[in-house]
A and B are shown apart, each in its own frame.
Chain A
Amino acid sequence: MCSGRLDPTFVFKALASGADGVMITGCHPGECHYIEQNYKALRRIQLMRRTLQGFGLEPGRIRLVWASAAEGNRFASEVAAFVEEVRALGPLHWGKNGNVPSIAAPAAIQKEEVPA
């Protein structure tokens, strides 16, 4: 799916469903498979960050990463870094399940995520 297909509601849907952060990835600027649609995504990200702030949330819960198919290592390190950042921000507890830990994440991580 092209990052140009990114409807901002997808991101809020994910957060509302229990995600603590959302990473959006796309081709590097100028290398879009669909010519220039990643620039549209770039604009929408700005909009989403402002909306997030309006909700009283940290804009750092959304991250945009440009990565090409040749940059596996970079992609992996970006994911790892984002996980650490979101972990530092703490859980959002927006999901339907409330405080019930989702089984999508292993128990060990869940324990760490609970703020002291």
Chain B
Amino acid sequence: MTENMIENTSSNDGQEKIGVYVCHCGTNIAGVVDVVQVAEWAAKYLKHRGVVIAREYKFMCSSLGQELIEKDIKELGLNRVIVAACSPHLHEKTFRTACANAGLNPFLCEMVSIREQVSWVHTDKAAATAKAKAMISGGVERVRHHVPLEPMTVPINPATLIVGGGIAGIQSALEIADAGFHVYLVEREPSIGGHMAQFDKTFPTLDCSACILTPKMVDVGSHPNITLLTWSEVEKVEGYVGSFTVTVRKKARKVDEELCTGCGICQEKCPKKVIDNVFEAGLGYRKAVYTPFPQAVPNFPVIDVPNCTYYEKGTCKACEIFCAPKAIVFDQQDQILTLKVGNIILATGYDLFDARRMTNYGYGRLPNVFTSLEMERLFNAAGPTNGNVVLRDGKTTPQSVGIIHCVGSRDKNFNNYCSVICCMQSLKFAHLVHERTGATVYNFYIDIRAAFKDYDEFYQRVLEEGTLFVRGKVAEVSDVPRVESEKGKLIIQVEDTLIGKQRRIPVDMVILSAGLEPRKDSKETARTFGISCSANGWFTEKHPKLDPVATMTEGIYIAGCAQGPKDIPASVAQGAAAAARVLGKIEQKAVALEPIRASVVEERCSGCRICNGLCPFNAITFHEDRMVTEINPALCQGCGTCVAACPAGAITGTGFSNDQIMAQIEGLMMLNVEPEPVAA
């Protein structure tokens, strides 16, 4: 679009031919707003403001509805379109495309949200109808000041950043790398694998978790298209879809990755034992120089600086002495890497609910109360007990075990939501305890949620194995006996809601099926990447049903538990889905950016430099020679702060100009329509 045409359109005041289209959205809007009356009103009372036609239709977004608009543009010569329907998030693109199909610049179409902002939030029909009219009046006034815009296209960098090396991130990385594009996989722990690497068996098939995970980890480690950055964290993200600049801190491993052969002699010789709170869930030890587990990818160890004797006392260096390739580098520093990528996938996973918060269950106070993650390590043949299910003393096999569901989930005191995996995980524990120890197993549940393929069959199987199910939320786990038979046991106090009685069930071991929570730092992560998260801290998807892996920030996708609790198959599906979305973007080669940008009219700029310090995107530069400010359209994100700040009115924002907003305010306040009798 040339400058001339823009000026022509904006200056042909009185020449606007506006079409107003009011959507029923079935009964979504029409149930509350009198849409027929609204359309009639717009045609009559906004006629002098350029409205030449106002229609209502059942579903404006349907192909018939769109054809209606296209036909009117062609036959009536409309040069502005107002669609009063849902939020522009949903259908702005639909109607802009319809306008473009009929030869109208898509940015001459404006949506008025009378569903999300009117019918869905009001019950008073008369008031809602009046509000819809006011909002349409605002839209009409605004659209008169719209000018044709051309979207800016920017090339897409084919490289992708994936944050989080759990199963979701691994799946995404492999999908994209296999398609021939480069991936940077950033993981903050020393190895990829995530929570899945800690598990023993996976429900409902009882596949060995490591057996199905480690081949994928090895694929990631050896893939020519994947740059694996473990023991690293993203510090800063700048830019926009197609060209993000990401700053990554590669923490000092104190081990030279070029020289290290992964032989493991350093771990063997290190004299310092440290309780492993991450991988072994506090049940086992690791050395101060360590790889979290034998199949770690990459297999280079990390020196745990706060626990290493050398950093504490200045002597030891046992690892350095025994390292044949001389790979130990005590003075290695953190590295700051700058990555250029076009798209980002966040698969940062979850944290386990801290069972100590439910003090009535005694975790941390009563030794034989275990969390689900601890149990995973106890069951695991590579775990601290070589797969033997024993009490905290390390030798006694339990004769009776109580598994408590919904710990920290479906509980108004902690988290209202269902953590999805705990029922199936508890059933898996019931099966494994039964198989390994022959103990009597009780499951204390509120409801059993065994949805999805083969899950309920697994529940039936566990029932048939003789596991006992007690329906009721456990009140307390106590070690204070009331009768002889309770001595030395943990007593589970529960109301059995199926027989309507309080019961006290003595057991040797209690397993708390703790829920899933967002990562403690998920809100900071969301801020770093410019996406939003729910009040809990789960990342918010673009649409809960139809766009579950995209976010409101273009070019940033989410997968796995970072979006909400889910099991392994769902995480893998999301990882692959996010990868498919990224591949789709890469194949487009270029992306059209909203032409919502600020620009400086140099003749009006006084060179006061007030705007210079306001831009967080460094899009504003000041030309000392000409004493004027200029805005780089590729860096401008369209927030409009500089537009509002300019005392000379020299900065204009396309799509949100002062004229547009002022006119919209007048329209909303109905200053443009002749006052109608109140009774109407």
Which residues of the partner chain B approach A4 to less than 8 Å between Cβ atoms?
614, 639-641, 644
Q: How far is the CB of B124 from chain A (nearest CB, A)?
A: 7
Contact A17 B665, CB 8 Å, known A2-B639, A2-B641, A5-B643: yes
- Any chain A CB within 8 A of the CB of B568? no
Which residues of the partner chain B approach A110 to less than 8 Å between Cβ atoms?
678
- Any chain B CB within 8 A of the CB of A7? yes
Which residues of the partner chain B approach A8 to less than 8 Å between Cβ atoms?
644
* CB atoms of B127 and A106 under 8 A apart: yes
- Any chain A CB within 8 A of the CB of B6? no
Contact A34 B669, CB 8 Å, known A4-B644, A103-B676: no
* CB atoms of A7 and B535 under 8 A apart: no
Which residues in window 18-46 of A have CB below 8 A to B?
18-19, 30-31, 33-37, 40, 44
- Any chain A CB within 8 A of the CB of B68? no
Q: How far is the CB of A71 from chain B (nearest CB, A)?
A: 7
Which residues of the partner chain A approach B560 to less than 8 Å between Cβ atoms?
none
| Contact pick for B532, options A10, A70, A97, CB 8 Å | A70
Bound Cα distance A33, B641 (Å):
13
Which residues of the partner chain B approach A5 to less than 8 Å between Cβ atoms?
639-641, 643-644, 653, 656
- Interface SS, A side: loop
* CB atoms of A103 and B130 under 8 A apart: yes
* CB atoms of B639 and A14 under 8 A apart: no
Q: Give the size of the chain B interface in residues (CB under 8 angstroms).
A: 44
Which residues of the partner chain A approach B527 to less than 8 Å between Cβ atoms?
30-31
Which residues of the partner chain B approach A109 to less than 8 Å between Cβ atoms?
127
Q: Give the size of the chain A interface in residues (CB under 8 angstroms).
A: 41
Which residues of the partner chain A approach B640 to less than 8 Å between Cβ atoms?
1-2, 4-5
* CB atoms of A14 and B669 under 8 A apart: yes
Bound Cα distance A11, B204 (Å):
60
In this complex, what residue of B is CB-closest to A76? B121
Contact A10 B669, CB 8 Å, known A36-B616, A40-B641, A106-B126: no
- Any chain A CB within 8 A of the CB of B212? no
Which residues of the partner chain B approach A102 to less than 8 Å between Cβ atoms?
669-670, 675
In this complex, what residue of B is CB-closest to A44? B644
In this complex, what residue of A is CB-closest to B663? A13
* CB atoms of B661 and A10 under 8 A apart: yes
Contact A71 B535, CB 8 Å, known A17-B666, A103-B133: yes
In this complex, what residue of B is CB-closest to A110? B678
* CB atoms of A103 and B678 under 8 A apart: yes
Bound Cα distance A28, B533 (Å):
12
Interface string of B653-676 (1 = CB under 8 A from A): 100101001100110111100011
* CB atoms of A19 and B532 under 8 A apart: no
Contact A70 B535, CB 8 Å, known A7-B643, A76-B121: yes
Bound Cα distance A97, B656 (Å):
27
In this complex, what residue of B is CB-closest to A101? B678
Q: Which among A1, A14, A71, A109 has the greatest number of chain B C-beta atoms within 10 A?
A: A1
* CB atoms of B678 and A34 under 8 A apart: no
Which residues of the partner chain A approach B65 to less than 8 Å between Cβ atoms?
none
Contact A95 B532, CB 8 Å, known A2-B640, A110-B678: no
Bound Cα distance A76, B437 (Å):
55
Which residues of the partner chain B approach A44 to less than 8 Å between Cβ atoms?
644
- Any chain A CB within 8 A of the CB of B530? yes
Contact A104 B670, CB 8 Å, known A7-B658, A70-B532: yes
Bound Cα distance A110, B126 (Å):
13
- Any chain A CB within 8 A of the CB of B637? yes
Which residues in window 63-80 of A have CB below 8 A to B?
68-71, 76
Bound Cα distance A9, B616 (Å):
23
In this complex, what residue of B is CB-closest to A14? B665
Which residues of the partner chain A approach B473 to less than 8 Å between Cβ atoms?
none
- Any chain A CB within 8 A of the CB of B540? yes
Which residues in window 205-239 of B have CB below 8 A to A?
none
Contact A104 B641, CB 8 Å, known A5-B656, A30-B527, A69-B532: no
Bound Cα distance A31, B640 (Å):
17
Which residues of the partner chain B approach A114 to less than 8 Å between Cβ atoms?
none
- Any chain B CB within 8 A of the CB of A105? yes
Interface string of B284-320 (1 = CB under 8 A from A): 0000000000000000000000000000000000000
Contact A17 B669, CB 8 Å, known A33-B530, A106-B124, A106-B130: yes
Which residues of the partner chain A approach B671 to less than 8 Å between Cβ atoms?
17-18, 95-97
Which residues of the partner chain A approach B661 to less than 8 Å between Cβ atoms?
1, 7, 10
Q: How far is the CB of A87 from chain B (nearest CB, A)?
A: 14
Bound Cα distance A87, B134 (Å):
20
Bound Cα distance A18, B645 (Å):
25
In this complex, what residue of A is CB-closest to B523? A31
Bound Cα distance A97, B203 (Å):
69
* CB atoms of B669 and A18 under 8 A apart: yes
Which residues of the partner chain B approach A17 to less than 8 Å between Cβ atoms?
665-666, 668-669, 671
* CB atoms of A10 and B535 under 8 A apart: no
Q: How far is the CB of B258 from chain A (nearest CB, A)?
A: 38
Q: A17-B666, A18-B669 are in contact. List 17 more A-B contacts (CB 8 A).
A: A6-B644, A9-B662, A10-B662, A13-B662, A14-B668, A33-B553, A34-B616, A68-B532, A69-B532, A70-B540, A96-B671, A97-B671, A103-B134, A104-B130, A104-B131, A104-B134, A104-B668
* A and B contact pairs by CB, cutoff 8 A, 17 listed: A1-B656, A5-B640, A7-B644, A10-B661, A10-B662, A10-B665, A17-B668, A34-B616, A36-B616, A70-B533, A97-B675, A101-B678, A103-B133, A104-B669, A105-B127, A107-B678, A109-B127
User: Which 6 residue pairs are nearest across A and B when measured between Cβ atoms?
Assistant: A5-B640, A4-B641, A34-B639, A17-B669, A35-B616, A7-B644
